[in-house]
Structure formats: structure tokens, C-alpha cells
Amino acid sequence: MAAAALDGLLPLIDRPFVFFGHSMGALLAFECGRLLAQHNGVKPEHLFVSGSSAPQLKNQKRETHSSLPEQEFIEYLKTLNGTPPQVLQNPELLRLLLPVLRADFAACETYRYVPGPAIGCPIAAFGGIRDVDVPRDLLEGWREHAPEGAFSLSLLPGDHFFIHQSETILINRLLHVLAPLLQRLQLGVMQATSLIQ
């Protein structure tokens, strides 16, 4: 999946960039970053991971939700608070959505971390205070993949989908972390402009 995602991303990384991934997206962003560092010699300015256990801890619970019978799977989706109730109550939409959701869960459940080159950039991990699937200790494991002193962890109000429940807080935290990068880019643009003049 990471290699396929990079096919689309490569034309866009000719300038500074960051990766943000929530849940399965965090693992995908991490693996994309490692591939870029290994094969292209570039890295994100920052990796933001959200609602995901660190890759080396991902399969500790060994839970498999992707193969649950349909009604049990729907009930589990309800507990996550990430799928709007209108969707869960619409049989036609569910028929379209369930195979995609099962595939996402299967991808996470079958993911196996393989030690390799470091991503080489600062990492900020975010989690929901009430996320029972991804508690603090599993988020803390991301520290292992960040350079010394370049890791932060924030727990925000909400459950696994705290990104919706605490959207404003999350955006403000991201902007705070990105402020030095944005200032650097602005200075670079100003210097380039003065050279052109």
C-alpha cells in the first residue's frame, strides 16, 4: 500500500512536506516515510500519527474484527464513533461500505512491522483520552522511531475518533508544531524574492 501511495505522492515532494495519518493512515504514513528515506533520500519535515499504536506494538492485542459476522461488525463500528449513524442505518450504503471497511481492518490486522531504516524526522503522536483500543502506552511506542528529543505525545478529549470531537484543539496543536517550518519557508521565499529583485 505504501509503495502504491508513493506513486501518487512522488510528484508532490519537490518541496518541504509533512505526513499526517489517523489509525491505519498513521501506519501508511510511517511506511511511506521509511520508503522515501530508503529509496529517495528524502524525508518528511514531520510525521503526525493519530489514533494508532506504534508499528512494533500494532498486533499485541491480536483482535480480528474484519471477519466478524455482519451484525457484530456493524455493532463494533458503532462503538468506534467514526461512521455516521445515518450510514449505519442505511442498508444500501452499508452494502457498498462494509467491504471497504473490512478491507481496512484486515490491512491493519495483517500488518507486520519489519525493523528497517529510521524515518529520520520528528514525530508527534496524538490519541483520544477515552480511546480504549489505542491507550497512551501504545502511542508512547512511537518515540522509538523519532530522533532523540524529537517526539511529542498529546492526549485529546474523545475516543478513537477524537479527531472529530477535538478537531479545533488538534488543528491548533498541528499549527503550533508546524510554526517553525512555516516561518522557515516564509524566510526562504523572502530571501528568494530579494535575490530575484
* Helical ranges in the chain per DSSP H: 2-9, 24-35, 70-80, 85-88, 91-110, 136-140, 162-165, 167-196
128-154 pLDDT per residue, tens: 999 988 999 999 999 999 999 999 999
The per-residue pLDDT string of the chain (197 residues; one tens digit each, 9 = 90 and over) reads 888 888 888 888 888 899 999 999 999 999 999 999 888 888 999 999 999 999 999 755 557 889 899 999 999 888 888 888 888 889 999 999 999 999 998 988 888 999 988 899 999 999 999 998 899 999 999 999 999 999 999 999 999 999 998 999 999 999 988 888 888 777 655 554 444 54
What's the rounded Cα separation, in Å, for the pair 64 and 37?
31
| pLDDT confidence of residue 23 | 92
CA-nearest of 134, 132, 129, 140 to 162 is 129
23 a catalytic residue: yes
* Domain range annotation of the chain: 60-122
| pLDDT confidence of residue 197 | 47
- DSSP letter for each residue of 28-80: HHHHHHHHIIIIIS---SEEEEES---GGGTTSS----TTS-HHHHHHHHHHH
What's the rounded Cα separation, in Å, for the pair 1 and 13?
18
Of the candidates 23, 50, 52, 166, the residue annotated as catalytic is 23
| pLDDT confidence of residue 170 | 94
The chain-wide mean pLDDT, for the chain, equals 88
Element (H, E) at 124: strand 123-128
pTM of the model: 0.85
Backbone φ/ψ region at 62: left (φ over 0), alpha (ψ -120 to 50), beta: left
119 touches 148 (CB < 8 A): no
